[in-house]
Amino acid sequence: MEHNSNFIRTIIKGDLESGKHNKVITRFPPEPNGYLHIGHAKSIIINFGLADDFNGRTNLRFDDTNPLKEDQEYVDAIQEDVKWLGYDWDDLRYASDYFDEMYQRAVLLINKGKAYVDDLNQEQIREYRGTLTEPGKESPYRNRSVEENLSLFERMKNGEFQNGDKVLRAKIDMTSPNLNMRDPVIYRISHATHHNTGDQWCIYPMYAFAHPLEDAIEDVTHSLCTTEFEDQRPLYNWVVQECEMESQPQQIEFGRLNLTNTVMSKRKLKLLVDEGITDGWDDPRMPTISGLRRKGFTPEAIREFVKETGVSKGSGAVDEAMLEHYVREDLKLKSPRTMGVLRPLKVVITNYPEGESEMLEAEINPENPEMGMRQVPFSREIYIEQDDFMEDPPKKYFRLFPGNEVRLKHAYFIKCHDVIKDDEGNVVEIHCTYDPETKSGTGFTGRKVKGTIHWVDANSAIPAEFRLYEPLVLDEVMKAAEEEGEDKTFIDYINPNSIEIIKGYIEPNMENVQPQDKFQFFRHGYFNVDPKHSAPGNIVFNRIVSLKSSFKLK
């Protein structure tokens, strides 16, 4: 967050000036239970960005304390995504590398009379916890002796009990107004194979116990997390202190990033993948980093967007249009312009000599002349967009209609004189004449036309597939359903128009496009060559964003 000041930066600056710290260490701590999404990008940018500004260090740490949900696939994807966003960690760490030390610290708590083994089951523990208005009740097992606790905890570790039979709890205060302090569970039994430690452990530390220890072990100075952890801060500090950690990290919370019309939690995103609603985690409709990448977003656009959203305690939803704005800004000068016809209608130019063709010159990007020129073939038959022609146009329709003249972008004026229809009355072909005097670039000033339309040469154009997207779930639809009191989840309201696949044509000079190449198609917006489905002979484009913010609820 190079220049923008924010409250976290102010705290860090103060800590360095007062001598509380002489270095800054942060970490980005994802749980490898899914792919990263745009919300994580915010955390990444804050953690890496702030450490960078103060010449500090940032670890990438996998918070892998729940073997049932975690997977190597996610570990790999997360590393790829962090790098793609433009960040490089100092150390790569795994919470599971600290399981031995965490176990020792739990034993220390038991020895100090600050932890005990409890036989209550999950439901009983919940009942005993009380509520915000009622104090909790102490477990009948709370006052076991240190010896008994040590022995039971060791037997838990040795696999003598089943899942759920026993837990280890911190002994804090069952009457605390903060529910997190009412003897939280810090270890549970889970006979499961862990992606990193295999079958070495059958007890696993809970997040609230593990996370502060991980931070302290790594000498993290500022542990930045989102505001839902605010109530856990007293427990975080309790763990660091009672476990007698040398290093005392400071937890600071900031507001989550939320986007309109965007499902964000990993749990929901995983459901979309598991139900086969999307084409994997990197489906271009997913708000995952890999989905945004495949759709065609750039790291620069994501970084600029996130920086613009700022750092604060609030977490209102940011308009998705703002993210789109930044990708347009980034691609404007970088991406070649081209013409593609998404819904083709054939035009025959009846006075153009049969069998002949010519090459026309066009700028690759008029806003960035350094990109040079491209060659666009032109001949007697071309395709235009179906909706660039109307037989019976309303007033102020300046595109093609019988008797009207328009400019073909980079080419000539054409005038329509005939409309060919099929038996059902559908327009299947248009006949026009062209005026050779009006060639683009010759400075022709004889007369003006009001409309300019794009086209491709029918003989040489390459067929291509275009995929157009809308959000998977629309906020208004969900809100309306909620107000109706419908007892359904977001998955029941998937937008039926979230993807539209159409076949059109592109300029022949695009034959050798590569996956992830990005173009601005005249009037249609920015598109990316899909890395998964595009192949030579079958080019597939994902629309990243239209040229203007045009998305409206239907």
Residues forming the site for ligand ATP (CB under 6 A): 29-31, 39-40, 42-43, 225-226, 256-257, 264-267
The response to whether 43 counts as a known ligand-binding position is yes
Spatial distance between the Cα atoms of 506 and 501, rounded to a whole number of angstroms: 15
**What are the two backbone dihedrals, phi and then psi, of residue 237, each rounded to the nearest 5 degrees?**
-70, -35
Spatial distance between the Cα atoms of 24 and 248, rounded to a whole number of angstroms: 13
In the complex, minimum distance from the CB of residue 266 to ligand ATP, in angstroms, rounded to a whole number: 3
**Residue with Cβ nearer ligand ATP (69 or 415):** 69
Helices (H), 206-286: 207-217, 233-242, 266-274
Q: Among 9, 13, 31, 409, which one carries the catalytic annotation?
A: 31
Q: Residue 393 class from Cβ within 10 Å (0-12 exposed, 13-18 middle, 19+ buried)?
A: middle
Name the closest residue to ligand ATP (Cβ): 39
The tokens describing 336, both together, are 């070649």
CA 357, distance to chain mean position in Å, is: 46
**Residue with Cβ nearer ligand ATP (66 or 139):** 66
In the complex, minimum distance from the CB of residue 381 to ligand ATP, in angstroms, rounded to a whole number: 52
CA separation, residue 335 to residues 27, 326, 515, 525, 529 (Å): 35, 14, 14, 11, 12
In the complex, minimum distance from the CB of residue 72 to ligand ATP, in angstroms, rounded to a whole number: 16
Beta bridge partners of 376: 360
The response to whether 42 counts as a known ligand-binding position is yes
**Residue with Cβ nearer ligand ATP (44 or 110):** 44
**Whether residue 73 lies in the annotated active site:** no
- In the chain the first and final C-alpha atoms are separated, in Å, by 38
Q: Among 105, 266, 285, 295, which one carries the catalytic annotation?
A: 266
The tokens describing 312, both together, are 């604060």
The response to whether 396 counts as a known ligand-binding position is no
The response to whether 40 counts as a known ligand-binding position is yes
**Residue with Cβ nearer ligand ATP (39 or 336):** 39
Spatial distance between the Cα atoms of 11 and 7, rounded to a whole number of angstroms: 6
The tokens describing 355, both together, are 């069998």
CB hemisphere CA count around 291 (13 angstroms): 26
Spatial distance between the Cα atoms of 445 and 253, rounded to a whole number of angstroms: 64
**Residue with Cβ nearer ligand ATP (29 or 471):** 29
Smallest Cα–Cα separation from 284: which of 45, 502, 500?
500
The response to whether 195 counts as a known ligand-binding position is no
The response to whether 434 counts as a known ligand-binding position is no
Spatial distance between the Cα atoms of 388 and 399, rounded to a whole number of angstroms: 6
Q: Among 9, 256, 343, 532, which one carries the catalytic annotation?
A: 256
The response to whether 207 counts as a known ligand-binding position is yes
**Whether residue 256 lies in the annotated active site:** yes
**Residue with Cβ nearer ligand ATP (230 or 511):** 230
In the complex, minimum distance from the CB of residue 254 to ligand ATP, in angstroms, rounded to a whole number: 7
**Whether residue 31 lies in the annotated active site:** yes
Answer yes or no: are the C-beta atoms of 456 and 382 closer than 8 Å. Answer: yes
In the complex, minimum distance from the CB of residue 518 to ligand ATP, in angstroms, rounded to a whole number: 26
In the complex, minimum distance from the CB of residue 123 to ligand ATP, in angstroms, rounded to a whole number: 24
Beta bridge partners of 374: 362
The response to whether 470 counts as a known ligand-binding position is no
Catalytic (active-site) positions: 31, 256, 266
**What residue numbers does the annotated binding site for L-glutamine cover?**
63, 207
Binding site for ATP, by residue number, is 31-33, 37-43, 226, 256-257, 264-266
Which residues make up each annotated binding site? 31-33, 37-43, 63, 207, 226, 256-257, 264-266
